[in-house]
Amino acid sequence: MKSNCTVLKAVRHGASVLSSADNPQLEAEVLLSHYLNESRSWIAAHPEKFLSETTLASYNCSLQMRNEGEPLPYLLGYWEFFGISFTVDKRALIPRPETETIVEHSISIAGKHPNSRIVDVGTGCGAIAIALALNLPDALLFASDISLDALSLARTNSLRHAVHNRIEFVQADLLTGMGKFDVICANPPYLTTQEACTLSVGKHEPRLALDGGRNGLNIVRKLISTAGKHLNKGGSLLMEIGNSSDKILKMAKYYFGSADCSMVPDLAGRPRMLKITT
């Protein structure tokens, strides 16, 4: 049954509800597109179309949830990373653009060495491992996570992109019980416990994937201190970091000695990825 609400009226209402968002109209259009199963360009071209009562109810409910802080990707049920659409939900972190740096560097390194063994540590929804599987057909890929829920989501995404037979999923605490690799990729928890408790991301995304302890370095230190014995000669560790880049670089040089340790900046020029090559 149709409501008396048009597409244009719905978008204006949505933008009003989401007035505190960075781009209220964009988010309103994205949500409405999702529930109409139409593109944003269709919405722009059909402002006079009336919504069904079911669609309007779902849309209004999502607006309220978004206004209360629910991440847009969780409301949509999918998000794009490295040009690939991933199913996302509360079992894992939402993949973010800055993490694409790890994928780019992995492709560059492994592209020179066919049959490279690569592991995505703390795979979450599987974004890094699956992006690599789609771009490196000869690579031997592994994905580990301590969370069975996250691994389940990652497997779902690997099936969605038909690379499930290219990735071995392993429940593990970082690299515990795993072999040696040419590339180790990781986006470990690097927020402090206080940040994980107080920031918006900690209220909606899994705390296990965010909380790095009192100073945010517990998991980072554990991975750096153990990664060396899991790297083949000439192998690389690529790890996303938050703050404390100076401390982390010093830590890397302590555990890896003469290895080449450096920080790779993000698009804003901030140190974002630790790169170690043995």
Report the relative pairing of strands 231-240 and 78-81 from DSSP bridges. Answer: unpaired
Phi-psi region of 14 (alpha: psi -120 to 50; beta: other; left: phi over 0): alpha
The answer to whether 185 and 121 are in contact (CB under 8 A) is yes
The pLDDT score that the predictor gives to residue 159 is 98
Q: Give residue 112's pLDDT.
A: 87
Residue 62, pLDDT score: 98
Say what the pLDDT of residue 268 is. Answer: 86
SS3 193: helix
Cα 90 off chain centre by: 12
For the four alpha carbons of 24, 27, 33 and 39, in that order, the dihedral sign comes to positive
φ, ψ for residue 269, nearest 5 deg = 85, 5
Range list of H helices, the chain: 7-17, 24-36, 40-45, 53-67, 72-76, 100-110, 127-135, 148-160, 193-198, 200-204, 218-227, 245-256
Where in the sequence of the chain do the CATH 3.40.50.150 domains occur?
91-277
Question: Looking at domain 2-68, which CATH architecture does it have?
Answer: Orthogonal Bundle (1.10)
- Per-residue pLDDT, 176: 97
Which pLDDT tens digits describe the chain residue by residue (278 residues)?
A: 889 999 999 999 999 999 999 999 999 999 999 999 999 999 999 999 999 999 999 999 999 999 999 999 999 999 999 999 999 999 999 999 999 999 999 999 998 888 999 999 999 999 999 999 999 999 999 999 999 999 999 999 999 999 999 999 999 999 999 999 999 999 999 999 999 999 999 999 999 999 999 999 999 999 999 999 999 999 999 999 998 999 999 999 999 998 999 999 988 899 999 999 99
pLDDT at 113: 86
Predicted confidence at residue 256, as pLDDT, reads 97
Q: Does domain 91-277 have CATH number 3.40.50.150?
A: yes
